[in-house]
A and B are shown apart, each in its own frame.
Chain A
């Protein structure tokens, strides 16, 4: 049996630098949907009970069609999901979640954060120090897994509230030393 195994193995072509699949953004898209599910916005953030939940993306769209696919298939409670790819002149306060990606230049990032300050917009980023700069939630990749850090303080400032599944997960990551920033 072992002999056969080795015989088969030796015939297998060696693929030194075989291409790997990177799923960072599909995973982040999945998280965005979960984050939408587990965040409370004030009623005033929506025109009515059935109004769409709007996820905005500024800068280049790294998600491909993933977010559109989510919008097509999913809802948050009874609300449909709408995806907006914002151009520089668009008003970011119309969104409930604003994704500020790596491609957004630091000055544009600061401007976006400033534009939605005090409005019920959940600011999601993926750059170091995003939360310190005023963001609400920030993705990072650690040990081949996508994780996030979040700030309840910043969320409060924006007028949104995280539900317990998000907070619990972060608490566990903090306990495990995955998230190190301490939150008061």
Chain B
């Protein structure tokens, strides 16, 4: 694939940045007036936002669209690894569409995820986030599976996601599917509390030129260039380049945590025959994220270091899908992923190879069977300052997995039963089985009730088994807390009970409720070991053990109401209660997870089309306090005003976090966190 593209499109930083925005506006307006002539004054009314955009579907997809449908009909593929609809999914699903991202003014994937119910998103500093679903949040939250176009992006180092290297061209996002609850049956071990699946558009749907750019006080400058073209009748491609520079967050000490990233890549879809599609895609990124780390120091026990973390990485993915019939297809996928990160105390290189196969076939008149297997190989090399941090020598991890799932139609259009199980073999705990049973009942086309019982495991990550990290905790006497690995650490387990109901009450109003009660066993609790005291220093070692149980329960409620063809409001409410029970003798902070995720969260959005070329959006968000880390509750608001003076051009002004000059959302662990500041930016998007 041609990836030389984009160096020239990446906007150089520095003093020119603010001028760049103005320049883009002027250039785009010129282009706009030039194309006004053939735009013809079309005065049609705006199309309601809730209507599907069939013009964005290709021939293949159109040929599968049902003409007459029940109303709950948003396409999802994450629940069962095949395209289905929200109304027919026996799981708690929320879909964030590309258009919702555009109207929210979000500039990053974490910001977009704030729209989804049941998801806890908290910014630690300008480039770090704590993101989880249904609790257990932290920067190193380890019970979530995140995929971008089929590529798994959680790191086997700690089982979580480095959010500051996960990015895509937001304009090219088809949808983000957010599944709360265990999705382990078909997706694998880390899908303990949820799956986030980011899916970008096909190359054929991103044809032409897109140039977007802008800036503001927090989003200091950003630019995206994408070009999509065609090579013969059967091959479409796109290439892109992207750059951004985000300002530092608020801190009383003026921490320089500003964040700059460049990224380019592309995608090629080739359809050599009617039934085969080959997709080749890849990305490369290179950037810096500032942070202030606290590290042990021989003289004064601890010191802070101003750091600029260097983040480099890339990936190449090849997927071959064959469609055998409407009921049967298979897909074979391979990818290679490389990540490098370097700061004062830690250097990490990781190579991952992954191969995955899935096959769907009808097995008898009422059975829709899907099965598959996968193998992942990941190797790391570390270069750390052992006084602070040690992961031991580089290690190679193998993961074998296989799954099978049968969707049984008990009564056509009424009752469905889904049975499935995932089998995997990992280097830490060996063989694991994760079965699930799901029932879906659709009494009318506008209503569905579902229930599920599933078992999932959070297999150990690398740091659970081999690790050493010293945290300075007091000066007199010089005392360090030393977190170690534990080779006897086993998988965390849960059995989750879920129940959900969805209803399209009228053509304009729909709502959805999900109840959940996961019962956890063998959760991580830290066990203090015999103190080591080479005078004058005192070291308090702790190791992770499986000596904690817990249960959480909660409810997630969403509703969407199309008040008029031009005005849509939606809201989400999430309640979460976490109860942890650590065994006697475990460390004091073991149950802190109870107070690191908010009990109550509310998200409200109003999307109003003021005129056929003008949009006004309002987003309000309430997040409850995080008692374990003393983060108070907060209420904040974003606004967006968008104007489309002609078909090819869109101008928008977005205000973010408007209700406070700065707002604490989470605290740092090994680094010092900063607060989110009020921000305003302008963006111009030109599409031809």
Contact = CB atoms under 8 A, between A and B. Distances in A.
Size range of the chain B interface in the assembly: 35 or more
A176 B68 contact: no
B51 A34 contact: no
A4 B499 contact: yes
Interface string B27-66: 0000000000011101011010001101111111011111
B66 A144 contact: yes
B516 to A, nearest CB: 12
B58 A34 contact: yes
Contact of B507 (A9, A19, A141, A165): A19
Given A5-B441, A69-B44, A69-B47, A146 B62 contact: yes
Contacts of A20: 68-71, 445
Contacts of B274: 168-169, 171-172
B446 A18 contact: yes
A75 B208 contact: yes
B449 A9 contact: yes
B271 A165 contact: yes
B67 A169 contact: no
Interface size range of chain A in the complex: 35 or more
Contact of A23 (B54, B63, B325, B688): B54
Interface string A143-162: 01111000000000000000
Nearest to A147: B63
A81 to B, nearest CB: 10
A114 B71 CA distance: 42
A73 B647 contact: yes
B44 A146 contact: no
Interface in B95-129: none
A24 B67 contact: yes
Contact of A30 (B38, B45, B62, B208): B62
Nearest to A34: B59
Contact of A146 (B65, B73, B208, B439): B65
B218 to A, nearest CB: 30
B363 interface: no
A73 B445 CA distance: 32
A164 B67 contact: no
Contact of B42 (A29, A33, A71, A145): A71
B602 to A, nearest CB: 24
Contact of B57 (A30, A65, A75, A171): A30
Contacts of B51: 26
Interface in B607-638: none
B592 interface: no
A8 B501 contact: yes
Given A52-B38, A164-B233, A145 B64 contact: yes
7 contacts: A4-B499, A12-B449, A30-B55, A34-B62, A52-B38, A146-B63, A172-B275
Interface of A: 1-2, 4-5, 8-9, 12, 14-15, 18-24, 26-27, 29-31, 33-34, 38, 50, 52, 65-66, 68-75, 80, 82, 141, 144-147, 163-166, 168-169, 171-173, 176
Given A30-B65, A172-B275, 5 more contacts: A4-B499, A8-B499, A12-B443, A23-B67, A29-B54
